[in-house]
Amino acid sequence: MEETNNKFKVFLYISVWVIIWGSIASLIDLPFLKSGIYSEGDLGQYLTFSITAMIAIICAKNIFGKINL
């Protein structure tokens, strides 16, 4: 039972980080799209989401090591 509970907590932890990453990436992306720096689907948008994903993964791994799940 404890292992199932632990797996669920890890699943929730990852899900929250995906939501955080998507929200932050979208907030960064919006001004670039509105100002015409790049268009939807361009390399710039790919880079914006990729870089924020890498940062989110690093933060999630560091925080995961400090909490007890």
Q: What is the pLDDT of residue 15?
A: 97
Model confidence pLDDT, tens digit, residues 15-61:
999 999 999 999 999 999 999 999 999 999 999 999 999 999 999 99
Q: What is the pLDDT of residue 56?
A: 96
Considering the entire predicted model, what is its pTM? Answer: 0.84
Q: What is the pLDDT of residue 44?
A: 95
Burial (0-12, 13-18, 19+ Cβ within 10 Å), 31: exposed
User: How far apart (Å, rounded) are the C-alpha atoms in residues 50 and 54?
Assistant: 6
What total number of domains does the chain contain?
1
Domain, as residue range, for 25? 2-66
Q: What is the pLDDT of residue 50?
A: 97
User: 């361009």: which residue's tokens?
Assistant: 42
User: 């400090």: which residue's tokens?
Assistant: 66
Q: What is the pLDDT of residue 47?
A: 97
